[in-house]
Amino acid sequence: MGLIQIVLYLVFVAIVAAIPFDIVCPWLLNKFREIDSQLEKPETLLYMSKAPFFAFIAKVLDFAKGYGLLFVGFYYFDELTVLLAVGIMLVAHNWSPATKFQNRKHFFLILWGLYSLLYVPFFIVFPISFIVFSLVINSFMVGLILNVIFMILCVWFLQLEPIFLLINFIVFVVTFIAFGIQLFQHFEGENNLSILKSFNNRSV
């Protein structure tokens, strides 16, 4: 692939990753509701709520970001381009211009898609380990960081492609930067409670 194709791909990754589907889909839902309100509805016709459908679509599209964008990279481009795409994708997704570069910290679905592409069993392992870590630590934020570290160990233990370790390193750096100060505040504050500690505190 030539330089122009690589640049176009990376720009495409940035644009798609920057789309906040969890905001766009509810906006579309409101537009559909406005259209529905102007239609004459026969009394015998049942109208089902579109909200669950649009919420599901938003989550699928965020998952597809991580899976689809990297799938194209692996299929058509070299490893360096893929690594650049991972960094651009995560940064554009979290600090999107569409949300005025707000640090949104919404990584779970896009990372789920990314890890599912790297190794099919991660489709099951990633969400389960995330839930376990989050419950044990009593924090989704720390649970995600620990889960990324766990994925690094899995890639190393399973002896998967070396590029997967580099991808994991980029994921770790971006997520760690995103949570940053909040992560340190968690360990310094009273929120640093495991499930066992929380249960014991309630029992006293």
Model confidence over 2-19: pLDDT tens digits? 889 999 999 999 999 999
Percent of the chain predicted with pLDDT > 90: 61
Question: One-letter amino acid identity for 113?
Answer: G
Give ∠ CA 101-104-106 in degrees, rounded to 5: 135
Q: Where are the alpha helices (DSSP H) in 18-78?
A: 21-37, 51-76
Which has the closest alpha carbon to 17: 140, 99, 134, 126? Answer: 99
Residues in the chain, overall count: 204
Q: Domain-by-domain residue ranges, the chain? A: 3-19+65-203
Interval 87-104: pLDDT, tens: 999 999 999 998 889 998
Encoding tokens for residue 13? 């990754």
pLDDT of 45? 46
Q: Is the pLDDT of residue 53 over 80?
A: no
* Average pLDDT, rounded, for the chain: 84
Q: Sorting pLDDT into bands at 50, 70 and 90, what band is 34?
A: low
Amino acid at 153: L
Q: Which two tokens stand for residue 26?
A: 């509810």
Q: Which residue has the higher pLDDT, 59 or 29?
A: 59
pLDDT band at 44 (very low <50, low <70, confident <90, very high): very low
Query: What is residue 38's predicted lDDT score, i.e. its pLDDT?
Result: 63
The residue among 115, 126, 69 whose CA lies nearest residue 92 is: 69
State the pTM of this model.
0.83
Q: Please say whether the beta carbons of 178 and 103 come within 8 A.
A: yes
CB 189 within 8 A of CB 138: no
Q: SS3 for 182?
A: helix
When pLDDT is averaged across residues 40-63 and rounded to a whole number, the result is 70
Our CA angle for 9, 23, 92, nearest 5°, is 30
User: In this predicted model, what pLDDT tens digit does every residue of 136-190 receive, in sequence order?
Assistant: 988 889 999 999 999 999 999 999 999 999 999 999 999 999 998 777 766 666 5
Whether the Cβ atoms of residue 94 and residue 144 lie closer than 8 Å to each other: no
